[in-house]
Amino acid sequence: MHIVYWGTYDIGKPRNRILLRGLRENNIEITECHADIWESVEDKSQIAGWKNKLQFMLRWLSSYPGLILRYLKLPRHDVVFVGYMGHLDVLILWFFAKIRNVPIVWDAFLSLYDTVVQDRQMVCPRHPLAKLLYFWEWLSCRAANLVILDTLAHAEYFKHHFGLSQNHVGATFVGAETEIFPSSPPKLIVSNSKDNSAALKILFYGQFIPLHGIETIILAAIRLKNKPIRWIIIGKGQEAHKIRNMLGKYSLPQLTWLPWADYEKLVEYIHHADICLGIFGDSGKAGRVIPNKIFHILAAGKPLITRDSSAIRELLHDDMPGIFLVPPADPQALADKIQYFSEKTIFRQERFHQNLINRIQPVAVADKLLDQIIKISER
């Protein structure tokens, strides 16, 4: 099989790197037809101010004539795959793939409408921007022969929300770059001058957005402030101001907040922790996704506490060693699990079964995707 991986996809995102690598490890012929508009833009918040946004938009739009011309010159192929983020790419490609009679598989991965309107609540559903985002995604779904999400729960949301048939949606896990997040600790371990080796070490990292439920973590830390526990919080974002106010109101000297850590450095923080935290938000989206960091933590073989959901149960269950699932937005339940963990020190040494790690490697993630691509190419 020959797949063209097409568009302005962000190669800085693990999602694209994992799928590209995994498809190649499954002996699939891959031709990349790519315009790297995201090069040197590690943090999207760097694109601030109308002038910078306009320049970026012009750069983005000006990449399409070359991409289309290169695509039309490519030899015959079985499928054209639009990588994340391809919400505009799939519309641009629609006509040209049709005239070549090649099916389009679009890795939607997430809904812009759901993210902006429902999860982060940046605009209300009646706002013109909300209506535009919905129509955009509705149309993008119809430009593709198959729309891929990260979980079956997320695929069900797309099916019902955008009126798609069952065979129009599919799912494959995010997975992990297991060589970057190995189960054996790296040689260099992050040190902290405030650290106390006798204290339980808890790690959270991620964007400060409603989906992650940072407030729940802070409230749990307040409940456990008299316990020998060290908290490391890494991140910034939409809810940073609210979290800063909470930390100003409550004295939590045992909590360290770092605004940023390099991607390659995260594994050191993970292995330095006794237990890592996932997400705790109570939005619909929080119940439909399994974020990157869950896969990082699992690949590293560290104990995990995260919110219970239909999505997470596609991969994990709380009978697994070192896995703790709690209700969303419930700081007392989170505090209770941490307290239970602190009393069961054997958990600190547990490692996950290799079968679980095998399921989240790029080759396994892409193998599941490939089954769905083959079906669409044979229609």
The answer as to whether 184 is a domain residue is: no
What pLDDT sits at residue 187? 63
Structural domains counted in the chain: 2
320 with 259, same domain: the answer is yes
Q: 220: domain range? A: 200-359
The answer as to whether 187 is a domain residue is: no
286 with 372, same domain: the answer is no
Q: Which residues pair with 105 in a beta bridge?
A: 81, 146
- Helix 89-99 and helix 64-73, axial crossing angle in degrees, nearest 10: 30
What pLDDT sits at residue 354? 73
Instruction: Check if the beta carbon of residue 297 is closer than 8 Å to that of residue 182.
Output: no
Q: What is the strand order of the sheet 29-34 is part of?
A: 29-34, 2-7, 79-82, 104-109, 146-149, 169-171
72 with 212, same domain: the answer is no
| Encoded tokens for 156 | 């069900």
The answer as to whether 147 is a domain residue is: yes
Closest CA to 229 of 335, 358, 73: 335
214 with 329, same domain: the answer is yes
The answer as to whether 57 is a domain residue is: yes
Q: Residue 114 carries which DSSP code?
A: I
> What gap in Å lies between CA 234 and CA 225, rounded to an integer?
19
In 35-140, at which residue ranges do the beta strands (DSSP E only) sit?
79-82, 104-109
48 with 140, same domain: the answer is yes
Going residue by residue through the chain (379 aa), what tens digit of pLDDT does each one get? 999 999 999 998 999 999 999 999 999 999 999 999 877 665 554 556 677 778 878 888 999 999 999 999 999 999 999 999 999 999 999 999 999 999 999 999 999 999 999 999 899 999 999 999 999 999 999 999 999 999 999 999 999 999 999 999 999 999 999 999 998 776 655 554 455 567 899 999 999 999 999 999 999 999 999 999 999 999 999 999 999 999 999 989 999 999 999 999 999 999 999 999 999 999 999 999 999 999 999 999 999 999 999 999 999 998 888 899 999 999 999 999 999 988 875 555 555 567 888 999 999 999 999 999 998 887 7
The answer as to whether 185 is a domain residue is: no
The CATH code of the domain that includes 347 is 3.40.50.2000
Question: Dihedral of CA 10/7/163/129: which sign?
Answer: positive
> What gap in Å lies between CA 226 and CA 224, rounded to an integer?
6
> What gap in Å lies between CA 151 and CA 9, rounded to an integer?
20
Using alpha carbons only, how large is the chain's radius of gyration in Å?
A: 21
128 with 264, same domain: the answer is no
| Interacting residues of 261 by C-beta distance below 8 A, sequence separation 6+ | 205, 234, 269
The answer as to whether 117 is a domain residue is: yes
| Interacting residues of 26 by C-beta distance below 8 A, sequence separation 6+ | 363, 366, 367, 370
311 with 218, same domain: the answer is yes
> What gap in Å lies between CA 110 and CA 86, rounded to an integer?
10
170 with 204, same domain: the answer is no
> What gap in Å lies between CA 276 and CA 201, rounded to an integer?
9
274 with 325, same domain: the answer is yes
135 with 210, same domain: the answer is no
213 with 354, same domain: the answer is yes
What pLDDT sits at residue 47? 59
The answer as to whether 193 is a domain residue is: no
How distant, in Å, are the alpha carbons of 45, 226, 255, 368 from that of 234?
17, 22, 11, 32
The answer as to whether 188 is a domain residue is: no
35 with 151, same domain: the answer is yes
Mapping DSSP to helix (H, G, I), strand (E, B) and coil, where does residue 199 land? coil
